[in-house]
Structure 1
Amino acid sequence: MLVRIVKMSFEAQSIDKFLNIFEQNKAHIRNFEGCEFLELYRDKNQNNIFFTYSYWASESDLENYRHSELFKTVWSETKVLFNAKPEAWSVDKLESLK
């Protein structure tokens, strides 16, 4: 399993638009082949910084999503709202608590 963490920072006036984009597309992303989990987090101290946290069955599933029309549409709507370059990490889950 691959875990993908993406950090995004937005202009204050763009936060609601981003949240609407996420709300409209979260079910489609969660149902994309290979996506096993998706959550959205907001920084406690800087309310314009968000993180997506997702589980993918394999790296190829994530790459298929990243090359899909769904991703291209969501990303094109989202990236114009950034006030800083997004950061992304792909990590392997080594341990999990139940």
Structure 2
Amino acid sequence: MFVRIVKMSFHLEHIATFESIFEEKKQFIRASKGCNLLELYQDKNNPEIFFTYSYWETPQDLENYRNSELFTTVWAKTKALFNDKPEAWSVDKKVSLQ
């Protein structure tokens, strides 16, 4: 399993629209084959910055999602709201304490 982290920055006036898109689609994204967890974070100091964390069984599962109609539709709506280029990382989780 690995974690996909995506950093996105939005114009202030588009934050509510992004949150609405995420709320509408989050269950479908989470239900994608191989997705074990989906989380959304907002930066405490800069409300324009958001992060998604998603846990995937395999890189192929993530690629299948990224090639899906769901991703294409969500990403097209979301990227129109950006005020900066998004960044993404695929990382292996080494330690998790709860």
Superposition TM-score tier, normalisation by shorter sequence: over 0.9
Displacement of 1:14: 0.3
1:1-98 equivalence runs, <5 A: 1-98=1-98
Tell me the number of residue pairs that the alignment of Structure 1 and Structure 2 aligns.
Answer: 98
Q: Give, as a single letter, the amino acid of the residue that structure 2 aligns with 1:18.
A: F
Displacement of 1:94: 1.2
RMSD in angstroms over aligned alpha carbons?
0.6
Gaps of 5+ in 2: none
Gaps of 5+ in 1: none
Q: Give, as a single letter, the amino acid of the residue that structure 2 aligns with 1:27.
A: Q
Give runs of ≥4 in structure 1 deviating > 6 Å. none
Counterpart CA distance in 2 for 1:65 and 1:92 is 18
User: Percent same amino acid at aligned positions?
Assistant: 64
Q: Give, as a single letter, the amino acid of the residue that structure 2 aligns with 1:71.
A: F
Displacement of 1:39: 0.4
Counterpart CA distance in 2 for 1:87 and 1:77 is 17
Displacement of 1:6: 0.3
Counterpart CA distance in 2 for 1:19 and 1:88 is 19
